[in-house]
Amino acid sequence: MKEIKPISSHFEMMELPYAELSDAISAETLSYHYGKHLRAYVDNLNKLLPGSGLEGLSLQEVVRKAEGAMFNNAGQVLNHTMYFEQFSPTPHAMSNTFATRLTEAFSSVEAFKKEFEQKGATLFGSGWVWLSADNDGKLVITQQKNAENPVTDGLTPLLTFDVWEHAYYLDHQNRRTDYLAALWQYVDWQVVEGRF
Ligand code: MN
Protein backbone atom coordinates (compact mmCIF):
# COMPACT_ATOMS: atom_id res chain seq x y z
CA MET A 1 0.00 0.00 0.00
CA LYS A 2 1.15 3.53 -0.72
CA GLU A 3 2.31 5.49 2.30
CA ILE A 4 -0.41 7.91 3.44
CA LYS A 5 1.21 11.36 3.69
CA PRO A 6 0.03 14.27 5.84
CA ILE A 7 -0.88 17.60 4.20
CA SER A 8 0.98 20.44 5.97
CA SER A 9 1.28 18.33 9.11
CA HIS A 10 -2.29 17.13 9.37
CA PHE A 11 -4.12 14.10 8.01
CA GLU A 12 -7.24 14.39 5.85
CA MET A 13 -10.30 12.20 6.20
CA MET A 14 -10.43 9.67 3.33
CA GLU A 15 -13.44 9.95 1.01
CA LEU A 16 -16.00 7.20 1.31
CA PRO A 17 -16.48 5.70 -2.18
CA TYR A 18 -20.05 4.40 -1.62
CA ALA A 19 -23.20 5.24 0.39
CA GLU A 20 -23.98 1.72 1.61
CA LEU A 21 -23.20 -1.95 0.97
CA SER A 22 -26.70 -3.36 0.84
CA ASP A 23 -27.07 -6.34 3.19
CA ALA A 24 -23.61 -6.00 4.78
CA ILE A 25 -23.20 -2.36 5.88
CA SER A 26 -26.12 0.09 5.92
CA ALA A 27 -26.03 3.84 5.33
CA GLU A 28 -26.97 4.27 9.00
CA THR A 29 -23.95 2.25 10.16
CA LEU A 30 -21.72 4.28 7.84
CA SER A 31 -23.12 7.55 9.21
CA TYR A 32 -21.74 6.54 12.62
CA HIS A 33 -18.77 4.39 11.67
CA TYR A 34 -17.35 6.69 8.98
CA GLY A 35 -19.04 9.97 9.94
CA LYS A 36 -18.47 9.87 13.71
CA HIS A 37 -15.91 7.21 14.67
CA LEU A 38 -13.36 7.80 11.89
CA ARG A 39 -13.95 11.58 12.09
CA ALA A 40 -13.07 11.49 15.81
CA TYR A 41 -9.92 9.40 15.22
CA VAL A 42 -8.72 11.83 12.50
CA ASP A 43 -9.47 14.89 14.67
CA ASN A 44 -7.78 13.37 17.73
CA LEU A 45 -4.69 12.40 15.72
CA ASN A 46 -4.40 15.92 14.29
CA LYS A 47 -4.66 17.41 17.81
CA LEU A 48 -1.92 15.11 19.11
CA LEU A 49 0.55 15.60 16.21
CA PRO A 50 1.95 19.11 16.90
CA GLY A 51 4.99 18.85 19.15
CA SER A 52 4.99 15.04 19.10
CA GLY A 53 8.12 14.76 16.98
CA LEU A 54 6.16 12.70 14.45
CA GLU A 55 4.94 15.61 12.29
CA GLY A 56 5.44 15.12 8.57
CA LEU A 57 5.81 11.34 8.75
CA SER A 58 3.51 9.05 6.78
CA LEU A 59 0.59 7.54 8.65
CA GLN A 60 2.27 4.12 8.53
CA GLU A 61 5.44 5.57 10.10
CA VAL A 62 3.40 7.31 12.80
CA VAL A 63 1.74 3.97 13.63
CA ARG A 64 5.14 2.24 13.81
CA LYS A 65 6.61 4.88 16.14
CA ALA A 66 3.72 6.20 18.27
CA GLU A 67 2.59 5.02 21.69
CA GLY A 68 -0.48 5.53 23.88
CA ALA A 69 -3.26 7.80 22.59
CA MET A 70 -1.26 8.75 19.50
CA PHE A 71 -0.85 5.08 18.57
CA ASN A 72 -4.53 4.34 19.18
CA ASN A 73 -5.79 7.22 17.03
CA ALA A 74 -3.21 6.84 14.24
CA GLY A 75 -3.79 3.08 14.14
CA GLN A 76 -7.53 3.55 13.89
CA VAL A 77 -7.16 6.09 11.07
CA LEU A 78 -4.96 3.66 9.12
CA ASN A 79 -7.17 0.65 9.90
CA HIS A 80 -10.43 2.37 8.93
CA THR A 81 -8.94 3.93 5.80
CA MET A 82 -7.85 0.49 4.59
CA TYR A 83 -11.17 -1.07 5.63
CA PHE A 84 -13.48 1.45 3.93
CA GLU A 85 -11.34 1.70 0.77
CA GLN A 86 -11.26 -2.03 0.06
CA PHE A 87 -15.02 -2.42 -0.51
CA SER A 88 -17.15 -1.55 -3.52
CA PRO A 89 -20.79 -2.15 -4.54
CA THR A 90 -19.28 -3.20 -7.92
CA PRO A 91 -16.01 -4.89 -6.90
CA HIS A 92 -13.26 -6.23 -9.14
CA ALA A 93 -12.92 -10.02 -8.97
CA MET A 94 -9.85 -11.77 -7.57
CA SER A 95 -7.08 -12.36 -10.11
CA ASN A 96 -5.92 -15.89 -10.90
CA THR A 97 -2.46 -14.96 -9.63
CA PHE A 98 -3.79 -13.97 -6.22
CA ALA A 99 -6.09 -17.00 -6.05
CA THR A 100 -3.00 -19.17 -6.63
CA ARG A 101 -1.13 -17.40 -3.82
CA LEU A 102 -4.05 -17.90 -1.43
CA THR A 103 -4.29 -21.54 -2.45
CA GLU A 104 -0.56 -22.05 -1.79
CA ALA A 105 -0.92 -20.58 1.69
CA PHE A 106 -4.31 -21.93 2.81
CA SER A 107 -4.96 -24.90 0.44
CA SER A 108 -7.89 -23.15 -1.30
CA VAL A 109 -9.58 -19.74 -1.58
CA GLU A 110 -12.59 -21.13 0.30
CA ALA A 111 -10.37 -22.46 3.09
CA PHE A 112 -8.74 -19.03 3.34
CA LYS A 113 -12.12 -17.31 3.68
CA LYS A 114 -13.23 -19.84 6.29
CA GLU A 115 -10.10 -19.34 8.39
CA PHE A 116 -10.33 -15.54 8.03
CA GLU A 117 -13.96 -15.55 9.19
CA GLN A 118 -13.16 -17.95 12.03
CA LYS A 119 -10.29 -15.74 13.26
CA GLY A 120 -12.60 -12.70 13.04
CA ALA A 121 -15.37 -14.48 14.91
CA THR A 122 -13.11 -15.72 17.73
CA LEU A 123 -11.24 -12.46 18.39
CA PHE A 124 -12.29 -11.65 21.95
CA GLY A 125 -13.34 -8.03 22.49
CA SER A 126 -12.51 -5.30 19.96
CA GLY A 127 -10.07 -5.56 17.08
CA TRP A 128 -9.37 -6.53 13.50
CA VAL A 129 -8.66 -9.64 11.47
CA TRP A 130 -6.00 -9.13 8.79
CA LEU A 131 -4.54 -10.78 5.73
CA SER A 132 -0.93 -9.64 5.27
CA ALA A 133 2.20 -10.55 3.35
CA ASP A 134 5.47 -11.15 5.17
CA ASN A 135 8.92 -10.17 3.81
CA ASP A 136 9.06 -13.32 1.69
CA GLY A 137 5.62 -12.62 0.19
CA LYS A 138 4.01 -15.41 2.22
CA LEU A 139 0.37 -14.69 3.12
CA VAL A 140 -0.65 -14.82 6.78
CA ILE A 141 -3.85 -14.17 8.78
CA THR A 142 -3.52 -12.36 12.12
CA GLN A 143 -5.85 -11.17 14.86
CA GLN A 144 -5.00 -7.65 16.08
CA LYS A 145 -6.49 -6.11 19.22
CA ASN A 146 -8.02 -2.62 19.46
CA ALA A 147 -6.06 -0.23 17.19
CA GLU A 148 -3.23 -2.59 16.20
CA ASN A 149 -2.08 -2.86 12.59
CA PRO A 150 0.29 -5.51 11.16
CA VAL A 151 2.75 -2.80 9.97
CA THR A 152 3.98 -2.75 13.57
CA ASP A 153 5.18 -6.35 13.09
CA GLY A 154 6.88 -5.61 9.77
CA LEU A 155 4.07 -7.15 7.69
CA THR A 156 2.40 -5.64 4.62
CA PRO A 157 -1.35 -5.46 5.40
CA LEU A 158 -3.63 -6.32 2.47
CA LEU A 159 -7.20 -6.94 3.70
CA THR A 160 -9.02 -6.34 6.97
CA PHE A 161 -12.45 -6.86 8.53
CA ASP A 162 -13.30 -4.63 11.50
CA VAL A 163 -14.78 -6.68 14.35
CA TRP A 164 -15.39 -3.86 16.82
CA GLU A 165 -19.09 -3.97 17.71
CA HIS A 166 -19.62 -0.50 16.20
CA ALA A 167 -18.88 -2.03 12.78
CA TYR A 168 -21.86 -4.40 12.78
CA TYR A 169 -24.20 -3.98 15.73
CA LEU A 170 -26.83 -1.74 14.09
CA ASP A 171 -27.13 -4.08 11.09
CA HIS A 172 -26.43 -7.53 12.52
CA GLN A 173 -26.75 -7.07 16.31
CA ASN A 174 -24.69 -9.79 18.04
CA ARG A 175 -24.35 -11.91 14.86
CA ARG A 176 -20.73 -11.12 14.08
CA THR A 177 -20.41 -14.21 11.88
CA ASP A 178 -23.29 -13.03 9.62
CA TYR A 179 -21.56 -9.68 9.19
CA LEU A 180 -18.22 -11.30 8.33
CA ALA A 181 -19.80 -13.65 5.78
CA ALA A 182 -21.74 -10.79 4.14
CA LEU A 183 -18.60 -8.71 3.50
CA TRP A 184 -16.90 -10.99 0.94
CA GLN A 185 -19.23 -10.05 -1.94
CA TYR A 186 -18.06 -6.40 -1.64
CA VAL A 187 -14.29 -6.93 -1.40
CA ASP A 188 -12.61 -5.19 -4.33
CA TRP A 189 -9.68 -7.49 -5.01
CA GLN A 190 -7.97 -4.96 -7.29
CA VAL A 191 -7.61 -2.68 -4.24
CA VAL A 192 -6.45 -5.54 -2.00
CA GLU A 193 -3.94 -6.91 -4.53
CA GLY A 194 -2.68 -3.36 -5.24
CA ARG A 195 -1.45 -3.20 -1.64
CA PHE A 196 1.13 -5.92 -2.31
MN1 MN B 1 -14.40 0.60 13.35
- List CB contacts of 184: < 8 A, sequence separation 6 or more: 113
Mean pLDDT, rounded, of the chain: 96
Instruction: Count Cβ atoms within 10 A of the Cβ of residue 181 and give its class: 0-12 exposed, 13-18 middle, 19 or more buried.
Output: middle
189 in the same domain as 101: yes
Given 17, 51, 85, the domain boundary residue is 85
Question: What spacing in Å lies between the alpha carbon of 104 and ligand 1's midpoint?
Answer: 31
User: Separation of 66 CA from ligand 1 center, angstroms?
Assistant: 20
Q: What is the CATH number of the domain that holds 105?
A: 3.55.40.20
| 66 and 138 co-located in one domain | no
How many angstroms does the Cα of residue 87 sit away from the middle of ligand 1?
A: 14
CATH of the domain at 70: 1.10.287.990
Ligand 1 center from residue 35 Cα (angstroms): 11
Q: Is the pLDDT of residue 1 over 90?
A: no
Q: How far is the centre of ligand 1, averaged over its atoms, from the C-alpha of 106 (Å)?
A: 27
pTM to 2 decimal places: 0.96
Nearest residue to 77 via CA among 2, 164, 12, 155: 12
Q: Considering the domain boundaries, does residue 54 fall inside one?
A: yes
Are both 113 and 159 inside the same structural domain?
yes
Query: Does some domain include residue 22?
Result: no
Distance 146 CA to ligand 1 centre (A): 9
Residue 14 maps to a domain: no
**For residue 149, is pLDDT > 80?**
yes
Residue 17 is assigned to a structural domain of this protein: no
For residue 9, pLDDT over 90 is answered with no
Residue 162 CA to ligand 1 centre (angstroms): 6
> Residue 12 falls within a domain, yes or no?
no
Q: Please, are residues 88 and 186 in contact by the beta-carbon 8 Å criterion?
A: yes
112 and 77 in a common domain: no
98 alpha carbon – ligand 1 mean position (Å): 27
Note whether 108 and 177 are same-domain residues: yes
Domain presence at residue 74? yes
Residue 3 lies in a domain: no
pLDDT band at 44 (very low <50, low <70, confident <90, very high): very high
Residue 29 banded pLDDT, cuts 50, 70, 90: very high
181 and 126 co-located in one domain = yes
| Inside any domain, residue 11 | no
Q: Does position 8 have pLDDT exceeding 90, yes or no?
A: no
Share of the chain above pLDDT 70, in %: 100
Å from CA of 32 to ligand 1 middle? 9
Q: How far is the CA of 166 from the centre of ligand 1 (A)?
A: 6
pLDDT at 91: 98
Residues 112 and 68 in one domain: no
- Give the domain range for residue 180: 96-194
| Of 1-15, 97-111, 120-134, 181-195, the least confident | 1-15
Provide the b/e sequence for 29-62 (b: ≥16 CB within 10 Å): bbeebbeebbeebbebbbebbeeeebeebebbbb
Give the distance (Å) from ligand 1 centre to CA of residue 107.
Answer: 30
Residue bearing the bigger pLDDT, 3 or 154: 154
What distance in angstroms lies between residue 96's CA and the mean position of ligand 1's atoms? Answer: 31
**CA of 123 relative to ligand 1 center, distance in Å:** 14
Decide if pLDDT at 47 tops 90. yes
Give the total number of structural domains in the chain: 2
Query: Are residue 121 and residue 153 in the same domain, yes or no?
Result: yes
pLDDT value at residue 7: 81
- Place 6 in a pLDDT band, splitting at 50, 70 and 90: confident
Domain boundary among 85, 107, 122: 85
Question: In this structure, is the dihedral angle defined by the CA atoms of residues 26, 1, 70 and 135, taken in order, positive or negative?
Answer: positive
Q: Which residues contact 157 (CB under 8 A, 6 or more apart)?
A: 1, 82, 130, 131, 132, 149, 150, 151, 195
Give yes or no: residues 105 and 183 share one domain. Answer: yes
What tens digit of pLDDT does each residue of 66-116 get?
999 999 999 999 999 999 999 999 999 999 999 999 999 999 999 999 999
Q: Is 70 in the same domain as 141?
A: no
In this structure, are 188 and 105 located in the same domain? yes
Query: Do 133 and 68 reside in the same domain of the chain?
Result: no
